[in-house]
Amino acid sequence: MLSLPLIPLAIAAACTGVDGGKSAFGSGAGGGTSTGEGGDGTGGSSTGSGVGGFNPGVDGGQSSSGTTCDAGPDEDKDQDGFTINEGDCNDCDANVNPNAVEVMTESGEGGGASEPADENCDGQEDEPPEVCDSMIPVDTQDPMDGARAIGLCRISTGPDDWGVATAQWVLPAGNAPPNEPNFHLGHGVLAAFGPNVNVQEGTAMLALSGGTARQPSDPGWQSPGGFSKGISNTGHPFGFPKESPSCGSAVTGACNDGVALQLTLRAPSNAQGFRFAFDFYTFEWPVFVCSTFNDFFAAILEPFPQGQSDGNITFDQLNNPISVNNAFFEVCGCSGGPPCLAGGINFTCALGTTELQGTGFEDHAATSWLQTQAPVDPGSEFMLRWLAYDSGDGVLDSTALVDNFEWIAEPGTPVGTEPVPDPK
């Protein structure tokens, strides 16, 4: 549990509320640490000179909502697991404590700005998320580097400290990978994917591939049109394969050449969900749409989301998983088109082929940047596994890019995937 210096009792009894209009916040370190130390002001101020961020203009222990709240130094009045003596700078609001993450101020209803607040009790308001993905080698074998590439910087030190608790490379079903160098070709940290596809936060992103998670300019790259890592029939994740109703009787083949990054995460005490961005490329399009060669990208969440029989949280708009048969392929083209016919399905290819240039997937297809979101319980521990693999054989490959993990503060977050509104 975090510990900060004692706030003078006469001042600590006053709590300041957190204004609405804030919904999402970054994934970096943000919060105070066990050695965090506030200033020695008598009650603090909005400038961060005091431990609690107390606004001396609020009289009589009255919060910004007009409610009087008197909290003793060891009381934990808001039942968030922290007392004033343990660093809670607003013991009236369970969303404010040292295990919270900073919520960046956004425009509220009517265009007005919401009030900045110090949710994580570190004496600062609206500090930007930490960026921690610079200078990571493309071929790193450290799974924590994979987390950093996505935007997850903070390592949890225990149950009352949000962040990454464990990180490991695994096979798509979550089992241990083979002790083969080729396995590690399936993950990489990239600064770009060709000249037209950029990272979505920081300076790098994670790539996962049934082939080589590289761009053609990187050491170790092999063409996705003919490379197999030789890691065969390792087992689909629970609930997979998932067939697409639009493909009729097509049956997905065995899982080959798979890779996954599996994290155990502890959510901040004010988090209601999370989201991340991804972009899926496949060499199987257009020839092998609706065939046994149905490569997959997925994100698996455990515990399973309410109402689901498995942990998959990545779907297209027709409830298909993200595979060779998904309906999100808009980065594509064909002779005489678009529209383009593949596997008996018409694709509008509305985004053209620019994002395929320089990737090794020219003349094939990608989704462009999508974002998936899912709910979590505040302060909970959960597992998240991002995975990619070839189906049927290991020869024609698919690659997924993953970036820009963010926590969501807005309650009622549903599971869903949609295009990123304004990708970088």
Question: DSSP letters along 73-120, please?
Answer: TT--TT-SS--GGGT-S-TT-TT-STTS------B-GGGPBPPP--TT
List Cβ neighbours of 400 (8 Å cut-off, separation of 6 or more): 207, 208, 209, 278, 279, 280, 281, 297, 322, 386, 388
What residue numbers bound the domain in which 305 lies? Answer: 143-419
User: Is residue 392 included in any domain, yes or no?
Assistant: yes
| Domain match, 271 and 347 both | yes
Tokens linked to 272: 């209601």
In a domain, 99, yes or no: yes
Q: Both 85 and 159 in a single domain? A: no
In a domain, 135, yes or no: no
The DSSP H or E segment spanning 146 is helix 143-150
Amino acid 62: pLDDT: 33
- Cis before 286? omega within 30: yes
Q: Do 283 and 415 share a domain, yes or no? A: yes
Residues 155, 107 share a domain:
no
The tokens of 70 are what? 């008197």
Q: Is residue 13 part of a domain?
A: yes
Same domain, 149 and 106: no
CA torsion 349-296-322-270 (nearest 10°) is -130
Looking at the structure, tell me whether residues 182 and 105 fall in a common domain.
Answer: no
Which of these three, 63, 97, 130, is where a domain ends?
130
Domain total in the chain: 2
The confidence score (pLDDT) of residue 126 equals: 85
Is 138 inside any structural domain?
A: no
Note whether residue 424 is domain-resident: no
Flag whether 106 is in a domain: yes
Residues 234 and 332 placed together within one structural domain of the fold:
yes
Predicted local confidence at residue 242, as pLDDT: 95
Establish whether the linkage from the previous residue to 339 is cis, with ω within 30° of 0: yes
**197 and 117 in a common domain:** no
Check residue 107 and give its pLDDT.
55
Domain identity same for 169 and 205: yes
The DSSP bridge pattern shows strands 381-391 and 255-266 to be antiparallel
Answer whether residue 31 is part of any domain.
yes
> Both 235 and 148 in a single domain?
yes
Same domain, 328 and 254: yes
The tokens for 20 are 């609405």
Whether 129 contacts 121, CB under 8 Å: no
* Structural contact between residues 227 and 221, judged by C-beta atoms closer than 8 angstroms: no
DSSP lists the bridge partners of residue 372 as 276, 417
Q: What is the pLDDT of residue 319?
A: 87
Q: Indicate the residue among 80, 102, 130 that finishes a domain.
A: 130
Q: Are residues 413 and 326 in the same domain?
A: yes
pLDDT digits (tens), the chain, 424 positions: 332 222 222 323 334 333 333 445 555 544 433 333 333 333 333 333 222 222 222 233 333 333 446 889 999 999 999 999 999 999 999 999 999 999 887 655 444 446 788 999 999 998 888 899 999 999 999 999 999 999 999 999 999 999 999 999 999 999 999 999 999 999 999 999 999 999 999 999 999 999 999 999 999 999 999 999 999 999 999 999 999 988 989 999 999 999 999 999 999 999 999 999 999 999 999 999 999 999 999 999 999 999 999 999 999 988 899 999 999 999 999 999 999 999 999 999 999 999 999 999 999 999 999 999 999 999 999 999 999 999 999 999 999 999 999 999 989 999 999 999 999 9
Structure confidence at residue 20 (pLDDT): 36
Residues 6+ apart with CB under 8 A from 110: none
Residues 315 and 313: their CA atoms lie apart, in Å, by 6
